[in-house]
Amino acid sequence: MRRHLHAEWTKLRTLPGTGRLLLTIVVLTAAVSVAASAVVSCTPAGCGYDPARILFFGVQVSQALVAVLAVTAISGEYGTGMIRLTLTAMPHRTGVLAAKAILLAVITLITGTAAVLAAALTARHLLLGNGFPAGMLDLMSGPNLRAAAGSVLYLTLIALLSLGVATAVRDSATAVGVVLGLLYLFPALILMISDAGWQRLLWQISPMNAGLAVQATTGLAALPLSPWAGLGVLAAWAAAALLGGGLLLRVRDA
pLDDT in tens, 60-89: 999 999 999 999 888 877 766 676 666 666
CA distance 153 to 146: 10
CA distance 227 to 102: 25
Buried b (16+ CB within 10 A) or exposed e, 93-121: beebbbbbbbbbbebbeebbbbbbbbbbe
Average pLDDT in the chain: 89
**pTM of this structure:** 0.93
At CA 78, angle to CA 65 and CA 17, rounded to 5?
35
CA distance 227 to 244: 26
Return the higher-pLDDT residue of 204 and 42.
204
Position 133 confidence tier, pLDDT thresholds 50, 70, 90: confident
Question: Phi first, then psi: what are they for 46, rounded to 5°?
Answer: 145, 160
CA distance 163 to 247: 13
pLDDT in tens, 36-61: 999 998 876 677 889 999 999 999 99
